Structure 1
């Protein structure tokens, strides 16, 4: 077994979910990620925790959704399993990245709504979502299998304590702030309040790889327009040049150059899907290329991402209302050129360089 797989598993078990003796652990993974699942189980055994493993299959999900009638109930048995779980580990890897591309977006939306209570319960646990470098994901990233393996493990097998310290500088800027303005070229100029909402430092715990700082906008404060110039890969389909215009926090106009119907269906999932639930700033410069995998792409250095839909509970202050939705869909803006982030009127990043880094120009 590649020793990098063992390192990956050690970070998941000992850092991301910090397993303890007696913990009940649920591991969800596809068969192609078996090597990582085996390494994780060895370490679970070393700790003295108790694993249950679930088989994950896009083919099976596709078959179920295409055979259904768009009327779904919350799976009470799955919810009960999550309720009895202390830690949840999800491993992503694909045999075919477009397996669910012929499932109607409305069907997907109905299914996600029915499963929202399960998702909310999962998010209340210690959890980690990570990636195994499968050949299909390498192909989507337009990389060789070996090249993609190097890319994935370079982004994951890091000194996460050092990452935490570096990113803490951005947390210190955002956490006490009121207003953030994102400008990129002549296509993106959007402002939002984050007043009272905590800024979190993602250093490889819930998401592995980590490499972002993020918070939630005050839902009705978002004003302006955004062109997400990095593609969105959602439900097995590519959405390009997604454009959103906000008034009083709500998306009042949208478009996309490709697969606009997918974007439309996301926004029509429920009322909360038309409001932003997250503002994130990518800071992991070992992720130096776009790979059509949001787990990596949203952490990419010199980017900003915004998610329509659900806001995470720990990014919303006690005095603010949390935006709720069955969806949480991230989209990315390239901030490497002709771009800036302003916090309370002060430029804190220009053309991808932060004010606390060498090369920042006042």
Structure 2
């Protein structure tokens, strides 16, 4: 076994989830990630915890979704019961075919998201970690050799997380004292939002591995302006690119995409909360230096910001503000490396991807 796999597992168990004796752990992963699952099970056993392993191969979910009646979807109570009994949830992504679910309709996906929402809420209440195993399908989607993709993944997950946390703390401090954020990029993105009373979170590789962002929630009805998401997203086995969105009073009132706009139709029609922003995130992981069609990595890239329509993370929302609720949480990315600024309360804190607290500002 590649020693980096054991190091990856150790980071998940020790740093990201802090597994202790007696913990009830669920590990969900496809078979291609078997080496990482094996390493995780060894460490879980050594620590005196207990594990249930589930197979989340996307072929199985595709088979279910294409043959089930979406109008009859209900919350899977047996899965909800498993998550309720668990202390720690670990989910591993690893693609052998990144387009496996491309022939599941957006309407079916939206219906399943609504039915699954209580399960997702329960999962987010636990100690959880989402990570990536460098499978060949993921490498192919990123237009990389398998070896190059392995190096890319392991470099990103094996950072000095204390050092990364310290860097990101500078941005957390700026946002926690702020009322308004403005994002400008080129001629097509100019959007403002209030974050007054909300909290910024320092993502240091805990829930997401790799980490490497600072994120918060906008005040629900405060988002105004237009955004061109110039980096694509890969969702439901489809590339969605050239997304343009207009916000008024916090809500998406117009949208378009140059490719696969029907995927956005399914997202925005999932529920009322899917048309409001739940997250503003600022990428700060410089070890992620290329776009790979994998949001777990892409949203962390330096020189980017991302905005997620749908559910807000409750820990980012102050007591006086409304938590946006939705079955969706869909991140989309703006490239901030050129002709771009982030302004906080009228002061530029990032220009062309360089932060005010960095030497090259």
After superposition, give the CA deviation of every residue in 1:18-76 in whole Å (9 maximum; x if it has no partner): 11110000000000000000111111112111111001111110111110111200011
Q: In the TM superposition, what are the counterparts of 1:287-306 in structure 2 within 5 Å?
A: 287-306=288-307
Shift of 1:285: 0.7
Number of residues paired by the alignment?
360
Q: In the TM superposition, what are the counterparts of 1:170-185 in structure 2 within 5 Å?
A: 170-185=171-186
Comparing 70-79 with 115-124, which one deviates more in the overlay? 70-79
After superposition, give the CA deviation of every residue in 1:98-121 in whole Å (9 maximum; x if it has no partner): 000000000000001000000000
Matched, 1:40 2:40: yes
Unaligned runs of 5+ residues in structure 1 are: none
Provide the residue aligned with 1:107 in structure 2.
108
Shift of 1:162: 0.7
Matched, 1:74 2:72: no
Provide the residue aligned with 2:147 in structure 1.
146
CA-atom RMSD, angstroms? 0.5
Alpha carbons 2:109, 2:266 under 8 Å: kept: no
Alpha carbons 2:5, 2:39 under 8 Å: kept: yes
Partner of 2:66: helix, strand, or coil? helix
Provide the residue aligned with 2:10 in structure 1.
10
Alpha carbons 2:306, 2:334 under 8 Å: kept: yes
Partner of 2:164: helix, strand, or coil? helix
Shift of 1:346: 0.3
Alpha carbons 2:106, 2:265 under 8 Å: kept: no
In structure 2, C-alpha distance between the alignment counterparts of 1:125 and 1:312, rounded to whole Å: 13
Provide the residue aligned with 1:244 in structure 2.
245
Provide the residue aligned with 1:89 in structure 2.
90
Alpha carbons 2:94, 2:134 under 8 Å: kept: yes
Provide the residue aligned with 1:192 in structure 2.
193
Shift of 1:265: 1.3
In structure 1, C-alpha distance between the alignment counterparts of 2:241 and 2:80, rounded to whole Å: 35
In structure 1, C-alpha distance between the alignment counterparts of 2:46 and 2:338, rounded to whole Å: 48
Provide the residue aligned with 1:318 in structure 2.
319
Provide the residue aligned with 1:353 in structure 2.
354
Provide the residue aligned with 2:329 in structure 1.
328
Moved over 6 A (4+): none
In structure 2, C-alpha distance between the alignment counterparts of 1:126 and 1:319, rounded to whole Å: 26
Partner of 1:64: helix, strand, or coil? helix
In structure 1, C-alpha distance between the alignment counterparts of 2:3 and 2:192, rounded to whole Å: 45
In structure 2, C-alpha distance between the alignment counterparts of 1:349 and 1:263, rounded to whole Å: 29
Shift of 1:245: 0.2
In structure 2, C-alpha distance between the alignment counterparts of 1:247 and 1:158, rounded to whole Å: 39
Partner of 2:221: helix, strand, or coil? helix
In structure 1, C-alpha distance between the alignment counterparts of 2:179 and 2:13, rounded to whole Å: 36
Provide the residue aligned with 2:19 in structure 1.
19
Provide the residue aligned with 2:269 in structure 1.
268
In structure 2, C-alpha distance between the alignment counterparts of 1:11 and 1:306, rounded to whole Å: 27
In structure 1, C-alpha distance between the alignment counterparts of 2:188 and 2:219, rounded to whole Å: 23
Shift of 1:280: 0.1
Q: In the TM superposition, what are the counterparts of 1:41-60 in structure 2 within 5 Å?
A: 41-60=41-60
Alpha carbons 2:181, 2:342 under 8 Å: kept: yes
Matched, 1:340 2:353: no
In structure 2, C-alpha distance between the alignment counterparts of 1:322 and 1:330, rounded to whole Å: 17
In structure 2, C-alpha distance between the alignment counterparts of 1:181 and 1:112, rounded to whole Å: 31
In structure 2, C-alpha distance between the alignment counterparts of 1:343 and 1:7, rounded to whole Å: 38
Shift of 1:232: 1.0
